């Protein structure tokens, strides 16, 4: 039964990576930019939710909503100030700018909220009739925490809603058009700048949700909290095929399962090395990722 426990834990962690990876893959698919500050938006969302609930005594759901709104505005601001002026710049300039924005957010968090770790509240604890706190379900030897259940369900709901939005919504169709050819989309009357800003807004809002879910599972909150999940989620996006929304979902799930199984059956210290080794092997066999498309350019 430990195998099933590990599998469920891996799917839960992978669901968080998938939600974060959606932000990377949407921005790259439409704007052809790698937003390496995305991981730090996760951290900001977690801090906003933490203070909204612990200091201002807001209900957890309202605290999550506040975090989503703040991160959405933050994502649009970052795009407008840092990335919009670089639309025609070389990719290296965008990459350096993204790293700079990442360090700016981390150091701003250090100044605003101090480097002292904060313990994220447990939103999913319930009190039973016996008066004791319960944090999950027990099905024989199988243990499933409420955090795990909520994380998986939220990920599935986000994937379904985002897929429907991209395929059927007016803005979603505009995003697909910009992803194919920005110049042609502009000629068809699509506001490319607004579409890219909306992409950053959606990705940053999802980052806030992922930050809350991640901190609910791993409750130690510090200004560098988002760095490693951000890197792993970017790895998941590349793993699944960056630019592909189903690829981000598949890559995130597989990455989470691989990481948890590596910790359980190989070594806790070597789990990250195993994850990145699997990524290298996959890219050697299929450079575009599992669900990525090979784009041939005519010269």
**pLDDT at residue number 122:** 80
Neighbours of 237 (CB within 10 A): 34
Q: Is there a contact between 225 and 44 (Cβ–Cβ < 8 Å)?
A: no
Query: Is residue 265 domain-resident?
Result: no
**pLDDT at residue number 144:** 82
**pLDDT at residue number 128:** 43
Q: For residue 133, list its beta bridge partners.
A: 127
Neighbours of 187 (CB within 10 A): 9
Q: What values do phi and psi take at 133, rounded to 5?
A: -80, 135
Strand boundaries in the chain, DSSP class E: 118-119, 126-127, 133-134, 136-139, 142-145, 220-221
SS3 90: coil
Query: Is residue 298 domain-resident?
Result: no
**pLDDT at residue number 129:** 47
Q: Is there a contact between 103 and 211 (Cβ–Cβ < 8 Å)?
A: no
Query: Is residue 255 domain-resident?
Result: no
**pLDDT at residue number 127:** 41
Q: For residue 88, what are its two tokens? A: 């025609």
Query: Is residue 240 domain-resident?
Result: no
Query: Is residue 53 domain-resident?
Result: yes
The burial of 163, by beta-carbon neighbours within 10 Å (0-12 exposed, 13-18 middle, 19 or more buried), is given as middle
Instruction: Give the span between the Cα atoms of 36 and 71, in whole angstroms.
Output: 15
Instruction: Give the span between the Cα atoms of 216 and 123, in whole angstroms.
Output: 7
Instruction: Give the span between the Cα atoms of 256 and 232, in whole angstroms.
Output: 9
**pLDDT at residue number 161:** 93
Query: Is residue 99 domain-resident?
Result: yes
Query: Is residue 273 domain-resident?
Result: no
**pLDDT at residue number 293:** 67
Query: Is residue 159 domain-resident?
Result: yes
- How many folded domains does the chain comprise? 1
User: Angle at the Cα of 184 (from 178 to 188), degrees rounded to 5?
Assistant: 95
Q: Which range of residues forms the domain containing residue 150?
A: 16-123+141-227
Residues in the chain: 299
**pLDDT at residue number 212:** 94
Q: How confident is the chain (299 residues) per 10-residue block, as mean pLDDT? A: 84 94 89 87 95 91 95 94 87 89 94 91 62 62 84 94 91 90 88 92 94 92 92 90 88 93 89 87 84 61
**pLDDT at residue number 145:** 85
């Amino acid at each position: 039964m430990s195998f099933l426990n590990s599998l469920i834990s891996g799917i839960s962690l992978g669901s968080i990576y998938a939600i974060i990876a959606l932000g990377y893959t949407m921005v790259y698919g439409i704007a052809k930019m790698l937003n390496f500050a995305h991981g730090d938006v996760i951290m900001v969302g977690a801090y906003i939710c933490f203070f909204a609930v612990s200091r201002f005594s807001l209900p957890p759901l309202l605290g999550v909503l506040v975090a989503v709104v703040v991160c959405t505005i933050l994502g649009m601001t970052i795009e407008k100030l840092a990335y919009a002026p670089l639309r025609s710049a070389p990719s290296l300039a965008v990459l350096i700018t993204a790293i700079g924005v990442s360090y700016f957010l981390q150091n701003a968090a250090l100044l605003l909220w101090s480097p002292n770790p904060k313990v994220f509240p447990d939103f999913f604890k319930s009190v039973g009739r016996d008066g004791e706190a319960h944090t999950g379900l027990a099905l024989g030897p199988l243990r499933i925490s409420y955090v795990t259940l909520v994380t998986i369900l939220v990920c599935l709901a986000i994937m379904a809603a985002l897929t429907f939005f991209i395929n059927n919504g007016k803005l979603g169709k505009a995003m697909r058009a910009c992803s194919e050819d920005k110049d042609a989309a502009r000629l068809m009357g699509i506001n490319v700048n607004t579409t890219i800003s909306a992409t950053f807004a959606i990705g940053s809002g999802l980052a806030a949700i992922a930050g809350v879910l991640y901190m609910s599972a791993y409750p130690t909150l510090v200004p560098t909290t988002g760095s490693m999940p951000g890197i792993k989620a970017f790895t998941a996006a590349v793993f699944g095929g960056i630019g592909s929304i189903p690829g981000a979902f598949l890559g995130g799930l597989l990455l989470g399962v691989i990481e948890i199984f590596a910790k359980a059956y190989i070594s806790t210290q070597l789990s990250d090395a195993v994850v990145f080794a699997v990524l290298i092997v996959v890219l050697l066999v299929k450079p575009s990722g599992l669900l990525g498309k090979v784009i041939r350019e005519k010269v």
